[in-house]
Structure 1
């Protein structure tokens, strides 16, 4: 069985309209195995799913995130869009994890991300466990010039810097990236927003300090601290050529995101997340983004799927305004 498949076109439905008012009417299907992304006059956003729950299983989390991409699409389809005719949205299907071979799925994901970037599209990925980040980052890395600097900004409760001595999982992607960057120039640049003391042990904090990881703890990541958050993001982005944004939905409070692999009421709120995302986009350095850990099996009234969809909607519209 192929590890890549186009999306079921029936997922793209919504309110009936004779005009192009809703996302489902804007989206065009594309099969990356047989088609190239058409060149458009403006932005092209390419939706790509990562149907993989294996990393979460290995990490002892609640399984079900492999169904996240379709749940996010079904909610995104219903939203109105405000994009002009020259801005395109393509659904490029899903990379699928077969059995327990997460590493192969990550490799295929990297290939598809590189293909999208080489065709001048902006990848917007839908997870799937946060192991999506390892494949996503490597796809970006293969696209850019060797001396160009990529910064990773992660909205998350967790560093995901766990050692992979006993195997890779959804908690190891940035550890893997950091280790591979140790002998490379320009090295590892990583900023985490929303880190919680009750979600990371002392070894992870020590590792973050040793690798000069920048982070804002959850108690400082809130709307009343907006100026500090904006300054930290801009300071991090200043010396970088590109930003890869990854959003782990379990970083949000379970009041906003109950349908994740590791839910907690102690997470951050939507308002400060939107401030952070807008600030990143305003640098004009965002090259790619993903939303990870959506777990429909534990969602409530599709609340988390709607959050994922609205975050993707927000990113597309803010980027299109640049």
Structure 2
């Protein structure tokens, strides 16, 4: 089962002002169908409350509560958006049937893009990526090449032999690209050798996946990292960014489905995002694997909210 629900306006709260100094004062909660077509300078938040992919992948259950936790922290942050930039929360897709929930989310992403809004999706398990990509593809068709940039410790290229889960989205995308004879452009930043088995590295090689290992994905190498990102972006028409919070060190992100102290740090991600945004090709972003049940002082939710805050303020 999969359902779509509108976000209650009282979901967002924080300090009050008379000039929309805080995001909770800027955000309009509405149904997606209420957005006008050809909307310009519009950012739309859309939730994906689904745990089934994480459950199937033997992760810690609780990611379905990620969207609400992110919203709670995001609303408190200061608003530096231009007055003519509109910010909407267009609700959440909920579901326990993974495939139907992904399909519904994909439809919503496509609809948002058709209306000219920039989608920022709040997960939920990393199976959100399969739905986000399909929504982008449904909107663009075969007219443009899509480049996927994934900030993650894991390739998420597991086989679907035993069904789809939060570890299979990019393998599924690759297989779909093969069927439609379209290119599969995938760059993964922060890969850990202790988080991916030999078969996953082989699959990445077979699919010609570009990746940077965690040992290199460090702020002191940002010049080289930016060069690799730019080289990747040059070969695609649009870029879709997906951030798996379990790629960060658990010192920064304890509340995730698969925590590890060996992950990367926020500074190198923020630097990389600046490079991606400067290309003008970013078409959608999602953030996944927040598990509030295991968070400490809302640290992971605050990290997710700050990343979204940074992106939205550099978009328009």
TM range, smaller chain: over 0.9
What CA deviation, in whole Å up to 9, does each residue of 1:86-130 have, x standing for no partner? Answer: 101100000001x3x110000000000000000000000000000
Q: CA deviation at 1:85?
A: 1.1
Q: TM-score normalized by structure 2? A: 0.98
Alignment match, 1:36: 35
**Counterpart secondary structure, 2:65:** helix
TM-score by length of 1: 0.96
Q: How does 1:108-257 map to 2 (within 5 A)?
A: 108-257=104-253
1:50 counterpart residue number? 48
Q: SS at the partner of 2:179?
A: coil
Alpha-carbon separation, structure 1, partners of 2:200 and 2:271: 27
> Which residue does 1:92 correspond to in 2?
90
Q: 1:30·1:37 contact (CA, 8 Å) conserved in 2?
A: no
Q: Paired residues, what number? A: 316
User: 1:2: Cα distance to partner?
Assistant: 6.1
Question: Could you tell which deviates more after superposition, 101-110 or 175-184?
Answer: 175-184
Distance (Å, rounded) in 2 between the aligned partners of 1:166 and 1:84: 48
Q: Indicate how the Cα distance of structure 1 residues 2 and 228 shifts in structure 2: closer, same or farther if over 3 A, else same.
A: closer
Q: Show CA shifts across 1:186-243 (max 9, x none).
A: 3110000000000000000000001100000000000110111000000000021100
Conservation of the 8 A alpha-carbon contact between 2:16 and 2:25: no
Deviation at 1:145, TM superposition (A): 3.6
In the other structure, the counterpart of 1:64 is 62
CA distance in 2, matches of 1:186, 1:226: 31
Runs of 4+ in 1 over 3 A off after TM superposition: 37-40
Distance 1:215 1:311, change over 3 A: same
